[in-house]
Amino acid sequence: MRSMNDCFVRSLWLSENFEFMVVDSDGSAGGLICVWNPEVFQLKDCCSTKNFILLSGVFHQSFECVVILYAPNDAIRRKQLWDLIINIKSLFNTPWCIGGDFNGILRISERRGCTRSDRGMNNFNEFIDRMEFLDMPMLGRNFTWCNSFEGDTWSRIDRFLVNPIWLEKFGLKLWGLPRSISDHCLLLLMEDDRNWGPRPFRFLNAWTLHPKFLELVRRSWSENEIAGWQGIDL
């Protein structure tokens, strides 16, 4: 077990078929549990605070790092958590995967009714940039939390952030599952190599502002000789 000033192990319990680590709740708030199959993930090191569980070990024959997180509601305390995780990262020099309830959004479109960015949003984006994470796009739904079953307020505050190496090794897809008794929906991060068909054609109008745009299009068009109708050429 790794010990630090601000990071400590709370509980690690073993059973015959699985292993799990627990951080106790603080009254009615928080509480974390992480369960894994030791045949899939072999634990080598771990640490925790009341806001996260960090597991480092061997996952499918490669060294990985997994963090399960529950962030504070307060923007200042979230910033302190981001700084702590950034400092810890140097102690676990492996590809990170971090997921959970971040209690914050990255962009205005992730909260219904949100009209402007705030300090918490800016801090969250800075944290992701410094950690060199990719935000996994979510399939199946746009939001992960609602304040009531009437659906007055919706936000995407739950997510998975991964090191790009994870996506190079695994065909990962993130699914948002239906809500049941919780005000959060479940997230399922799974390996999925199915072919979902060709991606739709996308064009950014800003490309036309580049001084060499037309020259590049003409050269590319003339250099490609493909038999077929013009739609295939395009």
Question: Which residue do the tokens 């993130």 mark?
Answer: 174
159: tokens are 């997510």
Torsion of Cα atoms, 162 then 164 then 165 then 170, to 10°: 70
119-146: burial string, b at 16+ Cβ within 10 Å, e else: ebbebbbebbeebebeebebeeeebbbb
Q: List Cβ neighbours of 120 (8 Å cut-off, separation of 6 or more).
A: 75, 78, 79, 104
From the centroid of its chain, how far is CA 184? 16
Which region holds residue 75: left if phi is over 0, alpha if psi is between -120 and 50, else beta? alpha
Provide the residue count of the chain.
234
Q: What is the pLDDT of residue 53?
A: 92
23 DSSP β-pair partners: 32
pLDDT at 55: 92
**C-alpha angle with apex 148: 143 to 151, nearest 5 degrees?**
55
- Give the ranges where 25-180 is alpha helix by DSSP (H): 75-89, 119-131, 164-169
Retrieve residue 114's tokens. 């949100």
Per-residue pLDDT of the chain (234 residues; tens, 9 = 90+): 343 433 334 445 555 678 888 888 877 666 888 988 888 889 999 989 989 999 999 887 777 888 888 888 888 999 999 999 999 998 998 899 999 999 999 999 999 877 788 888 999 999 999 999 999 999 988 999 987 656 578 899 999 999 999 988 888 999 999 887 888 999 999 888 766 666 667 788 888 999 999 999 888 888 776 655 555 556
Q: What was the pLDDT predicted at 17? A: 78
Q: What is the pLDDT of residue 11?
A: 47
Q: Say which CATH topology domain 11-191 has.
A: Deoxyribonuclease I; Chain A (3.60.10)
Q: What is the pLDDT of residue 232?
A: 55
Helix residue ranges, H only, 42-117? 75-89
